[in-house]
Structure 1
Amino acid sequence: MSYPFVVSVPHCAHRIPEEVRTRMALSPTQIMDAVDHGTTELFGALPAATVMSAKYSRLFCDLNRDPDDTGPKGIVAKTDYHGREIFKPGMYPDAQTLQRWLQIGYRPYHETLAKAVQRKDIIGLFDCHSLNGIGPADAPDAGKKRQDVILSNNGGPMGVQTPSFGQTSCPPVIMQIVKSAFEQFGFSVALNTPYKGGFITRHYGVQLLKKGGFAIQIEMNQDLYVDPQTGLCNSVLTDATASRIRSVFASIYRRFE
């Protein structure tokens, strides 16, 4: 049995091609700061129809950005979420190099993801991330404590469409079903705060909504399972959190079965 969902894990990797790494100003520890720690362990073994995980760091190509976004936090970011310059002076890629990088690190993932959500049996996409327990310097909630789980559909704090943000990627009623499932297993939940969802949920949500489906971004608070001293996943806490998440998805599936 597999759930009729696609699970995407776009920020789980730390691998960077050597030609890119030599251009970077960040240390190995700073590069690891960009990894969504624990997302492979929490979501990678879910019994979904398709589970996809990134091969490369988002510092190389950010899979959750529009391919035309060349801003400071665009598809190849200029600064990280701690406000640090990612590339050495004069080493940011020119347009031709950037397109070559996308051909390696971005387009294969999205070609596979596009085919996965087009399957007739697929009703939902979950794009899965993790975040720091306190908002870092360049985050919209810098310095603030975060809930255990943030669910996003490009809407407001109740999951309802907000005109200034455009179409939501998931109907409010489904957002409430997913929110209740997380709360049932002891997680505190916020909707669209501090993040409203990224390119993946917005882009593929349009396709899924046309066939009565949905797309939701999930952000897990790393304080649930990351050791604050080492910055690494605590295996006991990670396993316990993963078990709870499996129960959450089983509950969601039963609501749609």
Structure 2
Amino acid sequence: MNMHIQRGVFQRFDPTVPSVPLVVDVSRSGREYPEAFRSMIPFTTLHDNVSMYVDQIWSATPDVGGTMLYASFPNFWIDVNRHELDMDADLIEGQWPKTLQPTRSRTGLGLLKSKSRHGEPVHERKLTIDEVMERLDGYYHPYHAELKALLARHHTQFGKVYHLSGHCMSETGAATHADAGKPRADFCLGNRNGETCSAELMEFVGKIITDDGYSCTFNEPYQGGEIVRRYGAPTRGIESLQIEINKRQFMDVTTFKKTSGFLAIQATATRILRALAERGAGSS
């Protein structure tokens, strides 16, 4: 497998067969906690917020001609699926040089998490401006620069590109989510209500999922985060779709171990990849 590594920041898995216009990014599955990371809550509580095994679920991407980009660091260090101004001013020591735009940070789940998914305070102290800038310049911006370049290269070569943003979600909504306590489907596909990819493509992927016997919702409970918002431009041929997979189908959230359902979920993901690869190759 052809792999490019920027140590501690990202790993890029390049095609092992002729390239097709397909990019998968896995931004919230990183397990390399920087030495400077500190928190006052148990590691198991922190790590519950990591999208475990998503990189493995989509691991067939290079084998169908696509490229997969994987963020090595955890989203509790900095979350690349949030706008860089979505910060809580109370978490920062001093005044940030730009006007902040808090949205998800209002519930503690912004660019820098101030709470776990279940609402526990995370940080031992406020972060200095220099510390936040180091995370932005050393992790956030390099990941986005690599993803932007990948999408641009594929778009230039093929005139279009299918971009999947891979995530996983809890079985029910946590206390910090709008659907707190509500059960969730097996899959959720999000295109920000039509902004980031066509309804036709979302239905195409959704049919593969339901044909495999799984339930699937569109834009509920997740419409899509900063990554698809930033890059999706279906009128220009950049189709960005966020895919959330329910953890109950492939892992034990208490032990963090895979369950017997993992291989079936991985097989469905591979079917999606193959279908998009064929679709992309046929239109190039």
Deviations 1:40-63 (A, max 9, x none): 110133235320111101000101
Q: CA deviation at 1:28?
A: 1.4
Are residues 1:111 and 2:145 paired?
yes
> Within 1, Cα distance between the matches of 2:168 and 2:45?
17
The residue number in structure 1 matching 2:187 is 149
Count, aligned residues: 239
The residue number in structure 1 matching 2:74 is 57
Gaps of 5+ in 2: 1-16, 89-104
Q: 1:179 to 1:110 in 2, by over 3 A?
A: same
Contact 2:196-2:232 within 8 A present in 1 as well:
yes
TM-score, normalising length: structure 2? 0.79
Give 1:77's aligned amino acid: K
- Aligned partner of 1:134 among 150, 154, 172: 172
- Are residues 1:194 and 2:221 paired? yes
List gaps (5 residues or longer) in structure 1.
Answer: 156-160, 162-167
Q: Which residue in 2 is equivalent to 1:230?
A: 255
Opposite residue 132 of structure 1, the aligned amino acid is S
Please tell me whether residue 74 in structure 1 is matched to residue 91 in structure 2: no
Specify the alignment match of 2:230 in structure 1: 203
Structure-to-structure mapping, 1:4-23, within 5 angstroms: 4-21=21-38
CA contact (8 A) 1:41 1:238 kept: no
How big is each residue's C-alpha offset from its partner over 1:163-184, in whole Å with a ceiling of 9 and x where there is no partner? xxxxx10111221111112222
SS at match of 1:129: strand
Tell me by how many angstroms 1:113 deviates.
0.4
The one-letter code of the counterpart of 2:248 is D
Q: CA deviation at 1:92?
A: 2.4
Deviations 1:135-173 (A, max 9, x none): 111111111111111000001xxxxx4xxxxxx101112
- TM-score of the pair, normalised by structure 1: 0.87
Tell me which residue corresponds to 1:219: 244
SS in 2 for 1:243: helix
Q: Return the letter of the residue paired with 2:23.
A: V
Report deviation, 1:118.
0.3
Shift of 1:229: 5.0
* Runs of 4+ more than 3 Å apart: 252-256
Question: Match for residue 93 of structure 1?
Answer: 127
Residue 10 (structure 1) shift: 0.5
CA distance in 2, matches of 1:26, 1:44: 31
Q: Is the 8 A contact 2:22 2:276 kept in 1?
A: no
Identity %: 26
1:172-199 CA distance string (max 9 Å, x none):
1221111112222222110000011000
Q: Deviations over 1:15-44 (max 9, x none)?
A: 2212222xx112111121111012011013
Structure-1 residue corresponding to 2:93: none
